[in-house]
A and B are shown apart, each in its own frame.
Chain A
Amino acid sequence: MSSITLKGLSKHFGTLKAVDNLDLHVPHGSFTALLGPSGCGKTTTMNMISGLERPTTGEVFFDEQAMSEVDIGKRNVGFVFQNYAIFTHMSVYENLAFGLKSQPRRSRVSQAEIDSRVKEVADTVGLSAALDRPAARLSVNDLQKVALGRSMIMRPTIFLLDEPFSNLDSAFRAYMRAELKRIQHEVGQTMVYVTHDQVEAMGMADRIAVMDRGVLQQYGSPEDLYERPANTFVARFIGSVLNNFIPARYADGALHVGDGSIALGDRRAAFERSDPAAGLTATIRPERVMVVDPSSHQATLRGHVVLVEPLGPKDVVHLEHDGTPLRVLVPPNARPTLGSSLGLYFDPDQVHVFDDATGLAVR
């Protein structure tokens, strides 16, 4: 039973601020993803939670207890490393049993207990048939399972997974994602999952903390991040088809993009507060753009088709409007011809606007 709270957590390597003043609360039993591009500080954050790195400033709490004076081995965390860190000189069984056998002598469990717990974990991760095999001979997929099993053997209350699936082939990765979600549900413990793959984070996590250059950008449910990005970084990073970014300006109670305008309704107040002269950027998800007749007065913008990228269920149509690239998702049966002109309608409720000076959403 553990929640994780990070208060003002920073880690500096010389002048580099790997993690800067991070506040985060991971509730008990949640599946939280730390998401961000490589070098954003997510692994460093993870290492500070586990105790492998000591924070420069700030503190890690498990429930109410400060962790800075608690030894790594006593924090009761299960850690899955990106490169698995399998002990290749041991068998699968010995790898799984390693944690139990490494405890101080007085708190060590009996051999029978070790056997039964190794068997139980092997069943959970699907390694029962491979217990006697040397770890050096395992496939990458099985190494992954050993790493996962080894993190479970101590029955930790907190699981930390550092890009555990990045080395797997895509089919097995999809399978392991589902497996991990099942295991998380089964053990019901807190899981923190580091990834740079937003599809993985969106599909698995209850909550996602997006980080960039050591700073937390946004923390919320996958839906929050997708529907209400806090800044341009999140708007750009989340979503499998790149978001539309259109230069905009505010005037007379409406948002002007290209030669069209978007009525703002109740949201006007927020724009009145900000500097009207500042540059703005409007975003709208490609699948939320409606294709209309170019001659229709309903069209917010018109663009000509430069590329069609079939994805299967949908086509991504790349358009250009006045030098601005735009993307729209259309059903394959509505695939337009190259060079043709399309009218695009932006539903005002789907349009998010960001201040160019700060990158923050105007709300």
Chain B
Amino acid sequence: MKKFLRVFAIGLFALFFGFPLYWVVTMAVKPKAEENPPGIIYWKPQNPTLKNYKDVLNLSNTSDSPFATAKSYSALTPLKNSFLAAGFGTLLALAVGVFAAYGIARFRSGGKELPFQILQLRMFPPAAVVIPLYFMFVYLHLWNTLQGLILIYAAVTFPFVVWLMRSFFQDVPREVAEAAIVDGCTQWGAFYKAVLPMVKGGLAATALFVFILNWSDFLIALVMTQEHWITAPLFLNSLSGGAGGQEYGHQAALAVLLILPPAILGLSIQKYLVRGLTFGAIKR
């Protein structure tokens, strides 16, 4: 009985999280007629088609776009923008945050206050400062540029990098770096050759986490970009038909495409993630 209840509870949870995914994946291959017909629900696609994907990427034909209000006729440019902004934003956040975290963890740089002050950057939603930032960015000619988007993504996710990496660095005994220094390494060499490889699991988990945050951002890109530099989530939002109706099939197809990069990234670094995802909770 107890076992039955447990299986039932797990099943319920799986359904709760799994069904929306199922709905998106199936919606993406439904023809227009099956998307949202009045009075009928198609639980599975009757005539599966790849047309939605072809339309979204604008592969079928170039002149006759089905989207009336889309700001770009193909998702390829927004996808590329998303990749560049989220990717470089993540790299920049890591480049700055990893060193900050090592300094805080090993040398207590910034004393007691600095780590907390960095965390404070996350104590309000980015939306709270996005309007002032908009004016600043316009003034600095960073508005509606890739560089601007990269900068703001890095700034928003930098506190996560510092706090996650700090706990991973704290798990590495300080003697590891000291041993490398006794062996003739410089402080930098000890960090690069001895300490950093020991936290690569944590680094991979942090990178993935930050990338997903940047990749799925909607609000910042909504305020900070226009036309040429919009990101994929904005493009997804703009997909609607001529009469103002939602293009559910096309949106679903793009959603599936958007799921892929984090999923592929996650699978490819899976072996580092197991320890990394405990976020430093397990001490060696």
Contact = CB atoms under 8 A, between A and B. Distances in A.
Interface of A: 50-52, 72-74, 77-79, 81-90, 98-99, 102-104, 150, 154
Given A85-B173, A85-B175, A72 B181 contact: yes
Contact of B183 (A83, A88, A104, A150): A150
Interface of B: 173, 175-176, 178-186, 189, 193-194, 197-198, 200
Contacts of A72: 181-182
Contacts of B179: 79, 81, 85, 87, 150
A315 B164 CA distance: 57
A159 to B, nearest CB: 11
Contacts of A78: 182
B75 to A, nearest CB: 40
A45 to B, nearest CB: 15
B196 to A, nearest CB: 9
Contact of A102 (B173, B176, B189, B198): B189
Q: Which residue, A78, A82, A89, has most C-beta atoms of chain B within 10 A?
A: A89
B180 A102 contact: yes
Contacts of B200: 89
A99 B194 CA distance: 11
B178 A73 contact: no
A90 B179 CA distance: 14
B198 A88 contact: yes
B189 A83 contact: no
A52 B173 contact: no
Contacts, number: 62
Contacts of B176: 85-87
B197 A103 contact: no
A89 B198 contact: yes
B182 A73 contact: yes
14 contacts: A52-B181, A72-B182, A79-B178, A81-B175, A81-B178, A83-B175, A85-B173, A85-B178, A86-B176, A87-B180, A98-B180, A98-B194, A99-B184, A102-B185
Contacts of A103: 184
A73 B178 CA distance: 10
A99 B183 contact: yes
A73 B197 contact: no
A322 B173 CA distance: 51
Contacts of B182: 50-52, 72-73, 77-79
B178 to A, nearest CB: 5
Contacts of A90: 197
A165 to B, nearest CB: 16
Contacts of A73: 181-186
Nearest to B200: A89
A83 B173 contact: yes
Contacts of A102: 180, 183-185, 189, 193
B282 to A, nearest CB: 14
A205 to B, nearest CB: 22
Given A52-B178, A85-B178, A88-B198, A98 B183 contact: yes
Contacts of A87: 176, 179-180, 194, 197-198
Contacts of B193: 98, 102
A156 B143 CA distance: 59
Contacts of B173: 81, 83, 85
7 interchain residue pairs of minimum CB distance: A73-B184, A85-B175, A99-B183, A85-B179, A81-B175, A89-B197, A102-B184
Given A85-B173, A102-B189, A154 B197 contact: no
A78 B183 CA distance: 8
Given A73-B181, A85-B176, A87-B194, 17 more contacts: A52-B178, A72-B182, A73-B183, A73-B184, A79-B182, A83-B173, A85-B173, A87-B176, A87-B179, A87-B197, A89-B198, A90-B197, A98-B180, A98-B194, A99-B184, A150-B183, A154-B183
A52 B185 CA distance: 13
Nearest to B174: A85
Nearest to B182: A79
A51 B186 CA distance: 13
A231 B82 CA distance: 74
Contacts of A99: 183-184
A89 B176 CA distance: 12
A73 B179 CA distance: 10
Nearest to B184: A73
Contacts of B183: 73, 98-99, 102, 150, 154
A84 B194 CA distance: 14
